[in-house]
């Protein structure tokens, strides 16, 4: 919706003005420009929309845009840890343990902040060529006007409504979970599109990345089939046999094991499989009951459907 209004071109010009021709202001501003939307919106969509802004500003400052674009990717992944809905993997984990949006902010979001702020002192070292740049900008630089101002305002209102419902929807008398909020916001967006007739709804639906969605669905099928073989149960028993109930060692094994596997495979199915493996380990270690384990496996299809709806 917002891409059709020209608001990103407007933001790009304002961002260029903000840099004042300084490479350091460009890099620091990039971190916050990317992190804010990636905390609530899918990383891939956000990067696709923001990438032209980054490239345009980099060209205006006469620097290579490859370094800032790599930084954009790193920031978007780190910002996905800020909220429960920032990344599909965090949503899968949060839903598997019944964590609400507010609980995630209280207990986990600090890790996302650390992942972001650790980047700031590294910028002068890693992107030295961009950091030390200073260029003279044209004095008559002005933001382009936004097309369809009322439509843009309503689109931003839908976005704000979605964020507020993420924060407080589960505290309402009738609990509204994040996937339901996303569906409601998407429906409101389509209704606005239909009302203003900016472009056909059919074109909007064609723009959806169906190939990636089908790819993820098939990966979930593969994880479920992999689970039925009993290999995950065997690995859960093996973890207990090797490390007992030493949770620190188990945590380190998980960190390095998942990090290695995610370098070659999509992280979403890996997370889905690891959730089942760890639940099996907790039962084997008698940290949770067999009944809780059965409930976890029963709730697994529901958690998968929640992710797919989102």
Q: Convert the pLDDT of each residue in 65-92 to its tens digit.
A: 999 999 999 999 899 899 988 888 888 8
Give the pLDDT band of residue 128 (cuts 50, 70, 90).
Answer: very high
d(CA 202, CA 230): 43
8 A C-beta contact, residue 181 and residue 166: yes
Percent of the chain with pLDDT over 90: 25
d(CA 144, CA 6): 8
d(CA 177, CA 309): 11
pLDDT at 286: 78
Write down the residue that tokens 């596997």 correspond to: 261
pLDDT at 143: 86
pLDDT at 222: 80
pLDDT at 266: 76
Summarize pLDDT for 236-269 with one digit per residue, the tens. 888 888 888 888 898 898 889 888 888 887 778 8
Reduce the DSSP state of residue 148 to 3 states and report it.
coil
Looking at the predicted structure, is the pLDDT value of residue 277 above 90?
no
Instruction: Pick the most confident of 25-29, 34-38, 293-297.
Output: 25-29
pLDDT at 58: 92
Summarize pLDDT for 143-160 with one digit per residue, the tens. 888 888 888 899 889 988
Q: What is the pTM of this model?
A: 0.74
Average pLDDT over residues 170-174: 83
Q: Which residues pair with 190 in a beta bridge?
A: none
pLDDT at 173: 86
Average pLDDT of the residues of the chain: 84
Looking at the predicted structure, is the pLDDT value of residue 309 above 50?
no
pLDDT at 63: 92
pLDDT at 210: 84
8 A C-beta contact, residue 274 and residue 254: yes
d(CA 111, CA 89): 15
pLDDT at 280: 85
Looking at the predicted structure, is the pLDDT value of residue 216 above 90?
no
8 A C-beta contact, residue 53 and residue 15: yes
Tokens of 164: 């507020």
Q: Where are the domains of the chain?
A: 2-131, 149-206, 210-309
């Amino acid at each position: 919706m917002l891409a059709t209004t020209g608001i990103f071109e407007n933001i790009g010009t304002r961002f260029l003005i903000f840099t004042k021709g300084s490479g350091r202001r460009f890099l620091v501003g990039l971190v916050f420009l990317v992190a804010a939307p990636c905390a609530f919106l899918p990383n891939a969509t956000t990067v696709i929309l923001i990438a032209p802004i980054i490239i345009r500003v980099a060209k205006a400052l006469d620097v290579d845009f490859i370094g800032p674009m790599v930084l954009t990717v790193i920031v978007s992944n780190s910002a996905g840890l800020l909220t429960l809905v920032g990344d599909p993997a965090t949503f899968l984990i949060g839903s598997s343990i019944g964590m609400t949006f507010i609980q995630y902010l209280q207990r986990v979001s600090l890790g996302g902040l650390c992942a972001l702020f650790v980047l700031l002192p590294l910028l002068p070292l890693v992107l030295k060529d961009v950091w030390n740049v200073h260029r003279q900008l044209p004095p008559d630089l002005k933001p382009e006007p936004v097309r369809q101002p009322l439509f843009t305002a309503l689109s931003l209102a839908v976005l704000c409504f979605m964020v507020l419902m993420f924060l407080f929807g589960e505290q309402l008398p009738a609990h509204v979970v994040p996937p339901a909020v996303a569906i409601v916001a998407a429906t409101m967006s389509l209704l606005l599109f239909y009302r203003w007739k900016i472009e056909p709804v059919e074109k909007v639906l064609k723009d959806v990345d169906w190939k990636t969605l089908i790819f993820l669905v098939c990966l979930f099928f593969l994880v479920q089939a992999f689970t039925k073989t009993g290999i995950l149960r065997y690995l859960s028993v093996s973890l207990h046999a090797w490390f007992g109930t030493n949770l620190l060692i188990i945590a380190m094994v998980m960190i390095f094991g998942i990090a290695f596997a995610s370098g070659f495979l999509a992280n979403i199915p890996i997370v889905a499989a690891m959730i089942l493996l760890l639940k099996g380990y907790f039962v084997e270690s008698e940290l949770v009951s067999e009944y809780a384990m059965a409930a976890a496996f029963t709730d697994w299809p529901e958690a998968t459907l929640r992710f797919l709806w989102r």
